[in-house]
Amino acid sequence: MTAPFDTDFGTPARDATMTVTLEIDGLPVTVPAGTSVMRAAALAGIKVPKLCATDTLEAFGSCRLCLVEIEGRKGTPASCTTPAEAGMKVATQTGKLAKLRRGVMELYISDHPLDCLTCAANGDCELQDMAGAVGLRDVRYGFDGENHTKQAKDESNPYFTFDPSKCIVCSRCVRACEEQQGTFALTIEGRGFDSKVSPSANESFLNSECVSCGACVNACPTATLIEKNVIAMGQPERQVLTTCAYCGVGCAFVAELQGDQVVRMTPHKDGKANHGHSCVKGRFAWGYTTHKDRITKPMIRASISEPWREVSWDEAIGHAASEMKRIQAKYGRGSIGGITSSRCTNEETYLVQKMVRAAFGNNNTDTCARVCHSPTGYGLKTAFGTSAGTQDFDSVADADIVMVIGANPTDAHPVFASRMKKRLREGAKLIVIDPRRIDLVRMPHVEASHHLQLRPGTNVAVLNALAHVIATEGLVNEDFVAERCDPIDFKMWRDFVSKPENSPEAVEAVTEVPATELRAAARLFATAGKNAAIYYGLGVTEHSQGTTTVMGMANLAMATGNLGRTGVGVNPLRGQNNVQGACDMGSFPHELPGYRHVSDTVVRGQFEKAWGVTLDAEPGLRIPNMFDAALDGSFKGLYVQGEDIAQSDPNTKHVTAALAAMECVVVQDLFLNETASYAHIFLPGSSFLEKDGTFTNAERRISRVRRAIKPMAGLADWETTMALSNALGYPMRYTHPSEIMDEIARLTPTFTGVSYDLLDKVGSVQWPCNEKAPEGTPVMHLGGFARGKGKFMVTEYVPTDERTGPRFPLLLTTGRILSQYNVGAQSRRTENVVWHDEDVLDIHPHDAENRGIREGDRVALMSRSGETTLRARLSDRVQPGVVYTTFHHPETGANVVTTEYSDWATNCPEYKVTAVEVRATNRWSNWQEENDGFRQLTTRISAAAE
């Protein structure tokens, strides 16, 4: 699909109900009040020359090129900084203006290299365009004097080049870094002729505070900041609008291509999730799609000790179906199952669960949301009646108090974090509840009012203490509760949280949070008349009480009346691009699409009629149950689409023992991941650039994924699942993913209005999207909860059974960082390794000193589950007694150390609390040495078959 994505109206849109009508070059124009003359002109189809203005940034008024004349006014004001007024008569093209503009351009060009023909921005240079627009024919000042044209390039960043010789000091990059990204990494150093763009304190881009979001590159009107790919390849010649395949923000991107090669990915200005912004992963880290490690031929082998053998699609699919049928014949209908990744599209996950239910004949289907946000679904459905966040991302702009719990948005959801930071810079207050001092606690122009640095595993105790203060200090929004919530449940909750044992003072010893801070945070959160919003991540869900914590947050929001309007709500920041969608699509073993239990005879009947089969009324196995059943001998075959359970799931030895106990493991993926080492059949997957579909982001926004290039292995993932289902004897005959979405819409009440036609028309929609909300629902629970009355749940704090002691005195918590993504299958295969090429262990200097550990030392990280070796980094971001690492690199195998403890309701693993010990070492762990040899053995590929 191609579209004119690059219309630039010069200044941002204004959202005012009042309009003004003015006349520009004789044309009447009506615009919202506050709109600039420049934008009004652009909306009327009149181009005013400009250089420092762009509609993603507030007007700056420095280039003096956009001057206009206004009847009855003196001078030639800049149209970018002049608001349109009723009755105004504006002239954008006069002899006087032409002379002024040519003069300005002469000055710019007199200090600019005249290498347009060989310049990387040739064809996409605003300076070049403006020289043409103003009719520049001569530069009277010559080029002999002092200039900047010989300045050295900064090529330190792996993705873009900074060439100061081409800089016109328009400050667009500096403003983009401030306004869009909120990092303040760039500045204009010096005055007058000496003015220059400087990353941090005149450092290289790589060594500066720059987070490589690309906003400066987007904003640059010349070739000063430009993608290295454009320098190498030239300008793209076609565009495809699609959605990022990394985190749950779901940024809209324009894939820009030459033929079938992607030149660059640029954030889509009209993307409703990202509004033209991006992060280093979505903007730049897509090179994995063509990485040499991609497997593009189906492969099979009889045992995992044999090399892989490349075969035809027919042979691989036929073999997979035959093996699954053999296993079922021998061990029973429930002996096989399927797992999808939340990186897959809605249509793919829908098809896999359909295949499991209809062709396997059981409900053994699960998704990796099991190990991240399954407590969100359970907790929010219990409280509100819907397994999803309550708001859209735009809602944060109306929040007065933001509470961030167990989330690190600047690393894990950076584009949303930029919008949150913007609101915080505008004056909203921030409460952070996190064992680590995440960046949001204190960064340029943002400082948390309260950082409740709790001991890992005590979320519920902290939330109960906050609730205690609200309930006992008269801070409950009684009107809201009386109108919107179940009174019996509320009374029970109020009685419970009011007990002395839930007071901040009582829990201080357990949580390690000072009671005074906790009381102050509670009072701030419950400030009457203000909007308080909760944002949370896996630091909430990945605990033995993950679901309890989600309910605790829902209780807080209901008690303070912070639901059902913009600026408030309970907002899960989903880890992967399609966590929400995978859950919506019926990927869990107990639920059909739309969160309806398999035992519901009416709902099941609808699916049975549509699918033409009888469906099992009993819930199937969840992922951890599949492992247990495999070791028990009752689960023998597994189809895994896009998920690397051997690296991402806890207690690696347990997971791999379960995989090794199965007779047929089918892995469908881009790469020979860790799970593939235990597989017997490998079906090559397709990247997000190679297929059509939809992703649903953390705000329930359904966005299109559009095929930009053909599948490298010949089949898109939905076609592969379809082929397998057909081979199993259950026919699927879709010709395009749009038909799958049509089926989803027919069978799912919250999706009845969703279609590819609608998405093409409006860009994206948030479910529920049906006859009541034809273009979606940005904010949920307006006027009432989906379940009727909001349900308060009593949330008693139950300490985890994972305890520290003399052998394992420290607590390990895990997380991810900006440049890498989850198990790293994608991001490790990009230049992002410049920033993070190994997992390191953050340890407090006191703990390190006690153990004789210095910065950079190799250390053994040991738990009751296992041991691994990695490097230590001394950091006071963690408290004494707490250590932290990431899980991006399989060589580290962080999950060798984590345990099988899990959430009581959903079995979501307790990744965030593991009792460990750390000691200096000079050797790799036994597991690492064994795994290294095992990987070499199990990833061999024999000669290709014809």
CB of 453 to other proteins, least distance (A): 26
CB of 905 to other proteins, least distance (A): 7
Query: 590 or 877, CB closer to other proteins?
Result: 590
Distances (CA, A) of 85 to 320, 449, 770, 805: 69, 41, 40, 71
Please say whether the beta carbons of 737 and 693 come within 8 A.
yes
CA 350 to chain centre: 21
Query: 345 or 902, CB closer to other proteins?
Result: 902
Query: 271 or 624, CB closer to other proteins?
Result: 624
CB of 625 to other proteins, least distance (A): 6
CB of 603 to other proteins, least distance (A): 8
Please say whether the beta carbons of 185 and 215 come within 8 A.
no
Tokens of 500: 């002395």
CB of 628 to other proteins, least distance (A): 6
Distances (CA, A) of 828 to 342, 522, 560, 834, 895: 18, 41, 43, 10, 17
CB of 511 to other proteins, least distance (A): 19
Strand residue runs (E) in 104-194: 160-162, 186-189
Tokens of 361: 């004949």
Query: 201 or 602, CB closer to other proteins?
Result: 602
Query: 533 or 556, CB closer to other proteins?
Result: 556
Tokens of 813: 């918590």
Q: CB atoms < 10 A from the CB of 382, how many?
A: 17
DSSP string, 182-244: ----EEEESSGGG-EEEETTT--TTTSS----SHHHHH-SSSSEEEHHHHHH----EEEEEE-
List alpha helices for 623-747, DSSP H: 623-632, 645-648, 652-660, 717-728, 737-747
The region that residue 884 occupies, defined by phi over 0 for left and psi between -120 and 50 for alpha, beta otherwise, is beta
Length of the chain: 946
CB of 382 to other proteins, least distance (A): 11
In this structure, what DSSP letter does residue 180 have? I
Q: CB atoms < 10 A from the CB of 232, how many?
A: 9
State which amino acid sits at residue 307.
Answer: P
CB of 591 to other proteins, least distance (A): 9
Query: 370 or 781, CB closer to other proteins?
Result: 370
Query: 391 or 502, CB closer to other proteins?
Result: 502
In this structure, what DSSP letter does residue 476 have? S
Query: 116 or 631, CB closer to other proteins?
Result: 631
CB of 635 to other proteins, least distance (A): 9
Query: 128 or 545, CB closer to other proteins?
Result: 545
CB of 903 to other proteins, least distance (A): 9
Please say whether the beta carbons of 682 and 676 come within 8 A.
yes
Query: 32 or 619, CB closer to other proteins?
Result: 619
Query: 543 or 836, CB closer to other proteins?
Result: 543
Please say whether the beta carbons of 859 and 884 come within 8 A.
no
CB of 786 to other proteins, least distance (A): 15
Is residue 32 helix, strand or coil? Answer: strand
Query: 120 or 463, CB closer to other proteins?
Result: 463
Nearest-5° Cα angle at 822, 641 to 859: 130
CB of 896 to other proteins, least distance (A): 20
Beta-carbon contacts of 566 under 8 Å, excluding residues fewer than 6 positions away, are 391, 394, 395, 398, 531, 778, 779
> Is the bond into 221 cis (omega within 30 degrees of 0)?
no
Query: 547 or 647, CB closer to other proteins?
Result: 547
CB of 656 to other proteins, least distance (A): 17
**Helices 313-331 and 717-728: crossing angle, nearest 10°?**
50
In this structure, what DSSP letter does residue 749 have? G
Residues that bind other proteins (CB under 8 A): 334, 363-364, 492, 496, 544-545, 547-548, 589-590, 596-600, 603, 617-622, 625, 628-629, 631-632, 634, 794, 796, 798, 904-907
Strand pairing class (810-815; 882-886): parallel
